[in-house]
Amino acid sequence: MFEGLQRVWETFFNLDLIGQTLPTLLRVGLLNTLLLAVLASVIGVVVGVVIAAGLMSSKVAVRLPCRVYVDVLRGLPHILTVYLVGQGLPLAGITLFGESTYGYAALAIGLLEGAYMAEIFRAGFQSVEKGQTEAARSLGLSHLETLRFVVFPTGARRVLPPLTGQFILVIKGTALVYLLGLTAGQREMFAIAQDTAIVNASLSPLVAAGLLFLAITVPMTYAVNAWERRLRDGRKDAPADSATDSATDRDRALAHQGTG
Amino acid sequence: MTAQTTSQAPATHGTPVTFDHVNKRFGRTQVLHDICLEVPGGQTTCIVGPSGSGKSTLLRCTNRLEEPDEGRVFLGDTDVTDGSADIDAVRARVGMVFQTFNLFPYRTALDNITLALRRVRKLPAEEAAERARAQLASVGLAGLEHRRPAQLSGGQQQRVAIARALAMEPEVMLFDEATSALDPELVKGVLSIMRDLAGQGMTMIVVTHEMRFAQEAAGQVVFLDHGRLIEKAAPDKFFGAPESPRLQAFLSAVT
């Protein structure tokens, strides 16, 4: 029993090795991971909103391609999508990003995360009560103005919690970039950890990377939750009294359904 | 609560609304049967009837939140149901207040009102805010401009919704069971605003279960049952000497 624990400890929690790995992780990996994650998330959100709007279109010619996009990209193994975009595009002569692995990796991860985000946004937009739309239309706002000023602001806030989950997946998904080949300075956290792990025949470097992933994702989750609360409740100078809070409770319930 | 006369009383009083042989079906259920009704300008017309009688559907045909299957609806001289009518322009002339308030949840009371003033009426931000503030004050909500809907009571929310509609200076106001979702003690404040509005000569169509309001504020009262217009009369006659047996039965059930 004790020996077993010791073996686990040495394999995963070799402090020397963790200490050796951390500087490179922080100096090279962290920045690359964040850069990829931010690029991919921006692409994912833009793709997600556009595809979500397409999924809600009344025109089959618009809805169908969007549906196919979501179903295919969510259904394929992510590794295959990364290869298809990252190696397929250059092979086809579409060298959008020249030799930069990062551009293709960010595009690939962004495109596939966009498929998941599209469904999240669609659910959020469709959760906006019909009464909201009717009130806006009854005031003379056009269909597009109603989407832009009423449906989008409400729906986007409601999807913040499930969207945060998706951002976490994007951050972890950046590990897939190794598939496209990296120079030493391009490696993100997981690639660095994996290389060190192989050299030292120990999994401890991966634990070091894991700690850094947690150091990014956990504070981000709390930050987004705090931001969401602020958006929902407004500034603190207007205290809620005699308030019927059913609307916000419903918002929260809806938002959490999306994560399930 | 005192709701004084608003400083932005609509310039064009007295736009009438005409329903001309309006039919409406939901699937195979006919909810409106050949409704013909004149709503005189500058007066309040109350529509009463049992639930499911088509009152709200008829009201919603006025600004085409429901599309009539047949028949026409006129706002003044404008044929609302004409396919080539600019429906957004028509809707900007008609204010509507809903049973469930339908305020925009992430906007303050003030921003709920300024949205359409800026986007539809194209007012500059300052002027829109000024008008919204005045309108909120006129419904007794001065000082609550920066509250979100969730920070307001139901009665306050409905008054914001009324202010939002009135700020657009509509020619006609539609009330769809505006007090049905309110706690009893909050109903009075909203009704008193509606009564003031009626007194100012706004054309109003009011779907309501508040028989006393109908009796006191309406120029005419209309009884709908199973999608048919059964009876229409001045309030004294409507409540004092109802003709049809169905209206008699309805009135004895609700009063």
* Statement: residue A238 has pLDDT above 70: no
Interface with chain A: mutation pick from B57, B61, B91, B166, highest number of A CBs within 10 Å = B91
Interface size, chain A vs chain B, as Cβ–Cβ contacts under 8 Å: 98
Confidence (pLDDT) at A102: 81
CB B31 within 8 A of CB B58: no
CA distance A66 to A23: 44
CATH number of B12-93+214-255: 3.40.50.300
Residue B231 tokens read as: 């009876």
- Chain B touched by A245 (CB under 8 Å): yes
Q: Residue B161: in which H helix or E strand, if any?
A: helix B154-166
Confidence (pLDDT) at B1: 42
Give CA separation, B91 vs A103, A124, B118, B165, in Å. 48, 27, 15, 11
Instruction: Please give the CATH topology (third level) of the domain spanning A17-236.
Output: MetI-like fold (1.10.3720)
Q: Determine whether the interchain pair A138/B152 forms a contact, defined as Cβ–Cβ distance below 8 Å.
A: no
Q: Determine whether the interchain pair A134/B65 forms a contact, defined as Cβ–Cβ distance below 8 Å.
A: yes
- Chain A touched by B116 (CB under 8 Å): yes
Taking only the tens place, the pLDDT of each residue in A218-227 is 999 999 888 8
Closest CA to B212 of B230, B242, B192, B226: B192
- Chain B touched by A232 (CB under 8 Å): yes
For B118, name the nearest residue in chain A, comparing CA atoms only.
A141
CA distance A138 to B90: 9
Residue A250 tokens read as: 């419903």
Closest CA to B96 of B172, B8, B15: B172
- Give me the mean pLDDT over the A240-252 stretch: 41
CA distance A27 to A173: 20
CB A138 within 8 A of CB B63: yes
ipTM score for this prediction? 0.90
- Chain A touched by B160 (CB under 8 Å): no
Other beta carbons within 10 Å of B132: 26
Q: For residue A241, list chain B residues with Cβ-Cβ distance below 8 A.
A: 151
Average pLDDT over all residues of chain B: 92
**Please, what sign has the CA dihedral across residues B52, B53, B59, B63?**
positive
Q: Are strands B70-75 and B78-79 parallel, antiparallel or unpaired?
A: antiparallel
- Where are the domains positioned within chain A? 17-236
Closest CA to B11 of B168, B204, B193, B192: B168
* Residue whose tokens read 């070799």: A14
CA distance B66 to B90: 14
Confidence (pLDDT) at A234: 59
Other beta carbons within 10 Å of A132: 19
CB A78 within 8 A of CB A112: yes
Taking only the tens place, the pLDDT of each residue in B148-162 is 999 999 999 999 999
Taking only the tens place, the pLDDT of each residue in A144-153 is 899 889 998 8
Closest CA to B64 of B75, B54, B53: B75
For A132, name the nearest residue in chain B, comparing CA atoms only.
B102
Taking only the tens place, the pLDDT of each residue in A14-42 is 888 898 889 888 888 888 899 999 999 99
Confidence (pLDDT) at B34: 96
* Statement: residue A255 has pLDDT above 90: no
Taking only the tens place, the pLDDT of each residue in A87-119 is 888 888 877 777 777 888 889 999 999 999 999
Confidence (pLDDT) at B209: 93
Instruction: Report the percent of chain A where pLDDT is more than 70.
Output: 89
Which pLDDT band, with edges at 50, 70 and 90, does A243 fall under? very low
In this structure, of A154-163, A172-181, A241-250, the range with the lowest mean pLDDT score is A241-250
* Residue whose tokens read 């028949």: B71
Confidence (pLDDT) at A143: 86
Q: Determine whether the interchain pair B102/A234 forms a contact, defined as Cβ–Cβ distance below 8 Å.
A: no
B1 three-class SS = coil
Which pLDDT band, with edges at 50, 70 and 90, does B13 fall under? low
Q: Which of B65, B106, B119 is nearest residue A231 as measured by Cβ atoms?
A: B106
Taking only the tens place, the pLDDT of each residue in B227-236 is 999 999 999 9
* Statement: residue A70 has pLDDT above 80: yes
Residue B70 tokens read as: 């047949």
A197 φ, ψ (degrees, to nearest 5): -65, -40
CA distance A96 to A112: 18
3-state SS, one letter per residue, for chain A: CHHHHHHHHHHHCCHHHHHHHHHHHHHHHHHHHHHHHHHHHHHHHHHHHHHHHHHCCCCHHHHHHHHHHHHHHHHCCHHHHHHHHHCHHHHCCCCCCCCCHHHHHHHHHHHHHHHHHHHHHHHHHHCCCHHHHHHHHHCCCCHHHHHHHHHHHHHHHHCHHHHHHHHHHHHHHHHHHHHHCCCHHHCCHHHHHHHHHHHHCCCHHHHHHHHHHHHHHHHHHHHHHHHHHHHHHCCCCCCCCCCCCHHHHHHHHHHHHHHC
- Chain B touched by A226 (CB under 8 Å): no
Confidence (pLDDT) at B28: 92
The whole-angstrom distance between B236's CA and the closest CA on chain A is 33
Which pLDDT band, with edges at 50, 70 and 90, does B71 fall under? very high
- Give me the mean pLDDT over the B61-87 stretch: 94
B185 φ, ψ (degrees, to nearest 5): -75, -10
Confidence (pLDDT) at A251: 43
The whole-angstrom distance between B242's CA and the closest CA on chain A is 34
Confidence (pLDDT) at A235: 53
Closest CA to B238 of B226, B228, B224: B224
B156 three-class SS = helix
* Statement: residue A182 has pLDDT above 80: no
Confidence (pLDDT) at B6: 45
Top-confidence residue, B61 or A174? B61
Q: Determine whether the interchain pair A154/B94 forms a contact, defined as Cβ–Cβ distance below 8 Å.
A: no
What pTM was computed for the model?
0.76
Direct distance between the N- and C-terminal alpha carbons of chain A, in angstroms, rounded to an integer: 38
CB A176 within 8 A of CB A164: no
Q: Determine whether the interchain pair A231/B153 forms a contact, defined as Cβ–Cβ distance below 8 Å.
A: no
Q: Residue B195: in which H helix or E strand, if any?
A: helix B184-199
* Statement: residue A67 has pLDDT above 60: yes
Taking only the tens place, the pLDDT of each residue in B192-225 is 999 999 999 999 999 999 999 999 999 999 999 9
Confidence (pLDDT) at A254: 44
The answer for B67, left when phi > 0, alpha when psi is -120 to 50, beta otherwise, is beta
